[in-house]
Amino acid sequence: MTGPSPSAAAAQAPTAGDVSEKDRLLAQYAEVASLAGGLAHEIRNPLSTIRMNLELLGEDVEELDDPRRQRMLRKIERIQLECGHLEEVLTAFLQFSRAGELETEIADLGGVVKEFIAFYEPEARRLGVELSPHLDADLPPVRLDRALIRQVLMNLALNAQQAMPDGGMLELQAYRCEEAVCLDIIDSGCGIDPSAQQRMFQAFFSTKPGGSGLGLPTARKIIEAHGGTIHCESEPRRGSRFTIRLPAADPE
C-alpha cells in the first residue's frame, strides 16, 4: 500500500489560516460555555427562592377551610416537583461545566476507591447491590482531583444501581496497565443496547424519566481532563463494564 502523494499530504496539513480558525472556534466555545454556566447560576438561585415560597404557600393552603384545598395542594406539589427537577438538572449542568477545573494531588487510586466504597456501601446494601472490590496492591500513584474522581465513581455507581432495580453485583477492579492504572466498574444490570451505547456519552442523552443525561458526559470530561480515557463494553440483559484509564504520575 502506498501513502498519500506529497501534494495530498500538503493539502491535509494545517495552514496558518486553519490554526487561527481553530483558535477562534475554541474562544467561541469557551465564551458560550461560560455564558451557559453563568446562566445556570442565575436561574438556580431564584429557583430555590421559588421552591421555598411554594413550601410556605403549601403550609398556608393546608390551613384553609376551602373545598378546593386538596386541588390547590396537588398543584403546589406538582410545581414543587418540577422545581426540584430543574434544580437537579442545573446542578448536573454546573458540575458538567466545571468538570475540567482540576485541583490535583498525587494519590493511590485504590485508596480513593476504598474511600468511595466505605461511603457508598450502606446505600448499596439497602438496594441489594453487592459490592465486590479487587484492588491490586502497589498500584503506581496517579495525579488526580480526589473530589472529581469520587464524582465519577458516584455517577457510574448510580447508573449501575439504576440498571439493577432488583439488586445485583457491582465489581470494582483496579490494576496496573503499562504506564497507567485501570479501574473496571462492572455491573450485572440490564446492559445497554448498541444504539444507546453510541449516544450515551453525548450531553443530555438519557433513557430514564427525569434523567439529565449529564452523568456520563461529566465523567468523561473529568477523566479526559486527567489525561485519561473511559470506555464501555456492554451486553444487553447481561451487564456493563466501564473501564477508566488514568496515566501513572510522572516520578519527577
Give me the residues that bind ligand ATP (CB under 6 A), please: 92, 155, 159-160, 163, 187, 189-190, 192, 196, 200, 205-208, 211-217, 240
Whichever of 181 and 216 has its CB closer to Mg ion, that residue is 216
**Is the Cβ–Cβ distance between 246 and 142 less than 8 Å?**
yes
Q: How far is CA 250 from the centre of its chain?
A: 27
Distances (CA, A) of 187 to 146, 170, 193, 204: 23, 5, 15, 23
Whichever of 61 and 86 has its CB closer to ligand ATP, that residue is 86
Q: Spell out a b/e string for 222-252, using b for 16 or more CB atoms within 10 Å of the CB, else e.
A: bbeebebebebebeeeebbebbbbbbbbeee
**Residue 204: CB minimum distance to Mg ion, A:** 12
Cβ neighbours of 58 (radius 10 Å): 16
Whichever of 58 and 211 has its CB closer to Mg ion, that residue is 211
Q: DSSP labels for 48-85?
A: HHHHHHHHHHHHHHHT---TTHHHHHHHHHHHHHHHHH
Contact between 159 and Mg ion by CB under 5 A: the answer reads yes
Angle at the Cα of 98 from the Cα atoms of 195 and 135, rounded to 5 degrees: 70
Site string for Mg ion, 203-232 (x = CB under 5 A): ------------x-----------------
**Residue 41: CB minimum distance to Mg ion, A:** 22
Residue 182 site contact among ligand ATP, Mg ion, none (CB < 5 to 8 Å, cut-off depends on kind) = none
**Residue 231: CB minimum distance to ligand ATP, A:** 12
**Residue 225: CB minimum distance to Mg ion, A:** 19
Q: What share of the chain is helix, strand, coil (3-state, %, to 5)?
A: 55, 20, 25
**Residue 211: CB minimum distance to Mg ion, A:** 6
Whichever of 76 and 157 has its CB closer to ligand ATP, that residue is 157
Whichever of 80 and 206 has its CB closer to Mg ion, that residue is 206
Q: Binding residues for Mg ion, per CB under 5 A? A: 159, 215
